[in-house]
C-alpha cells in the first residue's frame, strides 16, 4: 500500500515575521537602509546616534525611531539634532516588535530618509529575537560593562553584523581586555567586525562611519 | 428584587507566585534573609557581592544563587571567595523565576546560610515582575549608565527597597548628576534610600553594609 504523502510546511512565518517582511519591503521601496541598534541600558546608543548625525551632516538624510519602555527623553535629544524622529514607548515590553515599527513608519517622512536608525529598548537579551524589517543589526558593548559579556549574553553577539565597543575613553580606568573581548565575539560570530570607539572623543568614529557607508552601498 | 451577590476573588495567585510563596516559607523556616539583586549587564552585581562577602567575613554565613542566560563565570568567582554558590542558566530567559530558585535551593546547604543573595539576570526590565521568594529587592545603577534611567525603566525603581549607585569612582569622568538621580528615584519610590558606593575603592560600602544589617535584623 502506498503511503499517503503528508504535506510539510518548512517554516510558518510568525505574525511578527510577516509584519517585519512588510516593513522591509516598504523600506526598500523607499530606498532606505535600516539599522537596528541594540545594547544594555546606558551603553551609549543615543550618544552614538547624535555623533553619527553630526558627522554625516548633510551628506545623508537620516531618520530615527527611538524605543523605550517609557519616556521620550531620547527622542527629544534626537529632535534637537534636526532629524525626523518617532518615539515608541513599549509600556513595559522589553524589546521592539514589527507592529510597533510599522506604526512608527506611518509617522515618518519616508521619502526624505536614506538611512533609518532604530534604537531598540536597552536590553542585551530580548531584542535579539525579534525581526523588525531592518537590513543590519548592530550591538554596542560599553567598556564599563566588562569584556566577559559574550559569555553571558551569547545570542546578542551571534546575531549582529557589527559590534561596537563604546566609551573607550574610559579604558584607562577599567580592566577591559579588548583582545579577549575580540576573541570571545569571534568565537560566536566570525563575520562581525569589532570596532572600538568613543563618541565623546571621536576616537574610532571614522571606522564606524566607514562601515556605515559600505552598509548603505552594499544594500 | 434583591441582586445576587457575585463572588469576587481579589487576587488569584499565579503559578509563579505560589512557588515563590513556597520558597519564602522554606527560607524563613531556615532563618535565612534573602536579597534579590538586579541591574543592567555589567553594573557591578558580582563585584559588589565579592566586596560584601569580604567585608562581612565570618560575621555572617552567606550563600549565593547566580542567574545568567549562559555560562558560570560569575559562580566561579563567588566559589573562589569560599561561600556556597549555585549557578542557574536560564538558556535565553531574561529573568529568574520561582521554579529556578526552588531548584537552586535544593543544591544549597540551607542550614549553613543566614544571608542568601540571588543575583538576577542582567536586565533592567524583566526581573522586576517575578517574585522569587525574596525578602528584599535591590537595584544597582552604575554611574556610566547615566542618571536619566529612572525615566526609561520606571518599574525597576518603583519595585525595589534600596537603590545602589555603583562605580562612583568613575564620577570624575562622567556627567552623572547624583542629586537629579535621587530626585527621579524619590519621585517613583519615596521609601527607597539611594546609596552611592564604589566596590573598587570601598567608598560608601559602610552605608550598604549598615542597610544589610538592618535588613537582616528587621526580618
Between B150 and B2, the more confident residue is B150
The shortest CB-CB distance from B69 to any of A74, A152, A170 is to A152
CB contacts of A154 in chain B (<8 Å) are 69-70
Between A6 and A42, the more confident residue is A42
Give pLDDT, residue A143: 98
Give me the long-range contacts of B143-146 (CB less than 8 A, separation at least 24). Answer: B143/B167, B143/B168, B143/B170, B143/B171, B143/B174, B143/B176, B144/A42, B144/A142, B144/A144, B144/A167, B144/A170, B144/B170, B144/B174, B144/B176, B145/A40, B145/A41, B145/A42, B145/B40, B145/B43, B146/A42, B146/B174, B146/B175, B146/B176
Give pLDDT, residue A4: 63
Give pLDDT, residue A120: 98
If we measure between CA atoms, which residue out of B23, B15, B14 comes closest to residue B132?
A: B23
Give pLDDT, residue A10: 44
Q: Is the dihedral of CA B167, B168, B171, B176 positive or negative?
A: positive
Q: What is the DSSP string of A119-174?
A: E--S-SSGGGG---S-SEEEEEEEGGG-TTHHHH-HHHHHH-SEEEEE-GGGGGGS
CB contacts of B147 in chain A (<8 Å) are none
Condensed to tens digits (0 to 9), the pLDDT of residues A140-179 reads 999 999 999 999 999 999 999 999 999 999 999 999 999 9
Distance CA A212, CA A52 (A): 10
Pair type for strands A85-89 and A62-68: parallel
CB contact under 8 A, A126 and B94: yes
CB contact under 8 A, B151 and A73: yes
If we measure between CA atoms, which residue out of B7, B84, B97, B11 comes closest to residue B49?
A: B84
Distance CA B67, CA B74 (A): 9
Read off the pLDDT of each residue in A206-216 and give the average, rounded to a whole number. Answer: 96
Condensed to tens digits (0 to 9), the pLDDT of residues B156-181 reads 999 999 999 999 999 999 999 999 99
Distance CA A100, CA B50 (A): 41
CB contact under 8 A, B151 and A71: yes
Residue whose C-alpha cell is 547624535: A50
Cα distances (angstroms) measured from residue A153 to each of A104, A184, B86: 28, 11, 19
Element (H, E) at A35: strand A33-38
The shortest CB-CB distance from B170 to any of A70, A144, A148 is to A144
Considering only alpha carbons, which residue of chain B is nearest residue A173?
Answer: B170
Give pLDDT, residue B10: 46
CB contact under 8 A, B152 and A69: yes
CB contact under 8 A, B170 and A170: yes
**Chain B residues with a Cβ under 8 Å from any Cβ in chain A:** 40-42, 68-71, 73-74, 92, 94, 121-126, 142, 144-146, 148-149, 151-155, 167, 169-170, 173
ipTM: 0.91
Q: What is the DSSP string of B37-73?
A: EE-STTSSHHHHHHHHHHHHGGGS-EEEEEEESS--H
CB contacts of B122 in chain A (<8 Å) are 40, 124, 152-153
If we measure between CA atoms, which residue out of A89, A164, A163, A102 comes closest to residue A131?
A: A102
The shortest CB-CB distance from B69 to any of A125, A146, A148 is to A125
How close B216 gets to chain A, by Cα (Å)?
Answer: 30
Distance CA A203, CA B174 (A): 17
Condensed to tens digits (0 to 9), the pLDDT of residues B5-60 reads 655 544 556 889 999 999 999 999 999 999 999 999 999 999 999 999 999 988 99
Asked if residue B1 has pLDDT above 60, the reply is no
Q: Over the Cα atoms of chain B, what is R_g?
A: 18
Distance CA B184, CA A71 (A): 13
The angle that helices A205-218 and A45-56 make with each other, rounded to 10 degrees, is 70
Q: Which domains can be identified in chain B, with CATH numbers? A: 15-218 (3.40.50.300)
CB contact under 8 A, B155 and A69: yes
Give pLDDT, residue A161: 98
Considering only alpha carbons, which residue of chain B is nearest residue A126?
Answer: B94
Mean pLDDT of chain B: 94
Give pLDDT, residue B58: 83
* Cβ neighbour number for residue B95 with a 10 Å cutoff: 20
Read off the pLDDT of each residue in A36-62 and give the average, rounded to a whole number. Answer: 96
Which residues touch B21 (CB under 8 Å, ≥6 apart)?
B13, B133
Give pLDDT, residue B82: 95
CB contacts of A139 in chain B (<8 Å) are none
Amino acid at each position: 500500500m502506498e503511503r499517503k504523502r503528508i504535506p510539510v510546511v518548512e517554516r510558518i512565518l510568525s505574525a511578527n515575521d510577516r509584519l517585519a517582511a512588510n516593513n522591509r519591503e516598504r523600506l526598500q521601496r523607499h530606498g532606505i537602509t535600516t539599522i537596528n541598534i541594540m545594547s544594555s541600558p546606558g551603553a551609549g546608543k543615543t550618544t552614538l546616534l547624535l555623533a553619527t548625525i553630526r558627522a554625516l551632516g548633510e551628506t545623508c538624510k537620516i531618520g530615527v525611531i527611538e524605543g523605550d519602555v517609557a519616556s521620550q527623553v531620547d527622542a527629544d535629544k534626537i529632535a534637537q539634532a534636526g532629524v525626523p524622529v518617532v518615539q515608541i514607548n513599549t509600556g513595559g515590553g522589553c524589546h521592539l516588535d514589527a507592529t510597533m515599527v510599522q506604526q512608527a513608519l506611518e509617522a515618518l517622512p519616508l521619502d526624505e530618509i536614506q538611512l533609518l536608525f532604530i534604537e531598540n529598548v536597552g536590553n542585551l537579551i530580548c531584542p535579539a529575537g525579534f525581526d523588525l524589517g531592518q537590513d543590519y543589526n548592530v550591538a554596542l558593548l560599553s567598556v564599563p560593562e566588562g569584556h566577559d559579556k559574550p559569555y553571558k549574553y551569547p545570542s546578542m553577539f551571534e546575531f549582529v553584523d557589527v559590534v561596537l565597543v563604546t566609551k573607550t575613553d574610559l579604558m584607562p580606568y577599567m580592566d577591559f581586555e579588548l583582545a579577549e573581548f575580540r576573541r570571545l565575539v569571534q568565537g560566536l560570530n566570525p563575520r562581525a567586525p569589532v570596532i572600538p570607539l568613543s563618541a565623546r572623543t571621536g576616537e574610532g568614529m571614522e571606522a564606524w562611519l566607514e562601515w556605515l557607508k559600505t552598509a548603505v552601498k552594499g544594500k
